[in-house]
Amino acid sequence: MPSTLVTGGAGFIGREVCRELIEHGHQVRVLDSLIDQVHGPDQPVALHGVDLQRGDVRDAAAVRAALEGVDGVVHLAAEVGVGQSMYEIERYVSTNDTGTAVLLEAMIDRPVQRIVVASSMSVYGEGRYRTPDGRAVDDARRSPHQIAEGRWNLSTPQGEALSPVATDETKPVDLASIYALTKFFQEQAVLIFGRAYRRDAVALRLFNVFGPGQALSNPYTGVLANFSSRVASGEAPTIFEDGEQRRDFVHVRDVARAFRLALEVPGLRDTTINIGSGHAYTISEVARMVARAMGRELEPEIMHKARIGDIRNCFADISRARDLLGFAPRHALEDSLGELAEWVAQQKVVDRNAEMRRHLEARGLVA
């Protein structure tokens, strides 16, 4: 029976990964610091059939103890949030980068054969685009001047409109936030470690993960959780820019299955793999879908302002996941919002959206 350590395993994605692994015959140990922003100060953590060890991934002694006797590692432990990363820089760099370094150093003299790390679509910056005549553009960016004028869509230097297309793993990275920088460090450190010590190392670049169990009172955790907490509080979802930016939403159960496959598929090493749905949705469309699923007629509040570090469009090409993992998503966004709405209705929700906006605006991070 394989034995697997899941760092950050008490979090939203981690809990589902643990369930998936246990259902497929893994013994599972979790190392998690159980921080208040994710779990709340009094929130009980229920992980059935799991050896839960409370500890910080930056604590070498705690990491060494958690690694005892395990065959594989799923490394999820990280601070998550593009906006927050832009002003809590030390916190993000310390947890994400130093924590990964401590984990890898502790693995050197332990017989862990495979590590799978959670990376992020944020490392791409803007996704891939095409010009009107079909040429691929991998380095599209908006200037601060363009954003300040409210010209949200991207164009060539000659003023030709660019059309977003699915982004695959060959697109060069373009790091637009501190969070993206730390996630790129995590994935590359793991892959470099794997090559140096002849271990199987895989980085899954996760797109926007959603589903029951997400921290509704953490405004940095994800757009669907943010929208759900607003609607549950009777407030309109708030959307930066004009709401027409496009994202890819992938269900947490599909993500959990991808992590299990990345642990189990033979011969998999030294690779990055997109994990998404392969579909693009506008953010305003998603906000309306969430409101309808929750039985509210609430039109989103369009801010016509941008957060520094945000990108316009990015959605996944998942061909590599199909080819290497045999992965295909099973839970489409439009078919899963009823389940999400039912779960939200049973939760105690504290809407901290306004608090998040105050933090960003006070630091000049909203243009």
Residues 6+ apart with CB under 8 A from 90: none
State the DSSP code for 109. T
List of residues 6+ apart from 140 with CB closer than 8 A: 126, 129, 154, 162
Dist CA 338 CA 220 (whole Å): 23
Distance CA 77, CA 79 (A): 7
Q: Write out the E strands in the chain.
A: 3-7, 27-32, 50-54, 72-75, 114-120, 128-130, 136-137, 163-165, 200-206, 208-210, 238-239, 246-247, 249-251, 271-275, 281-282, 301-302, 313-314
Q: Cα-flanking dihedrals φ and ψ of residue 303, to 5°?
A: -80, -30
Strand partners, 53: 31
Kind of pairing between the strands at 281-282 and 246-247: antiparallel
Instruction: Choose, from 179, 197, 220, 281, the residue flagged as catalytic.
Output: 179
Residue 300 CB neighbour total at 10 angstroms: 21
Residue among 85, 78, 82, 73 at smallest CA distance from 11 = 78
Count the helices and strands in the chain (H runs, E runs): 14, 17
**Could you confirm whether 179 is annotated as catalytic?**
yes
- On the 0-12 / 13-18 / 19+ scale of CB atoms within 10 A, 133 is exposed
Single-letter code of the amino acid located at 42: D
52 φ/ψ angles, rounded to the nearest 5 degrees: -90, 120
- 272 phi, psi to nearest 5 deg: -110, 145
Catalytic site positions = 179
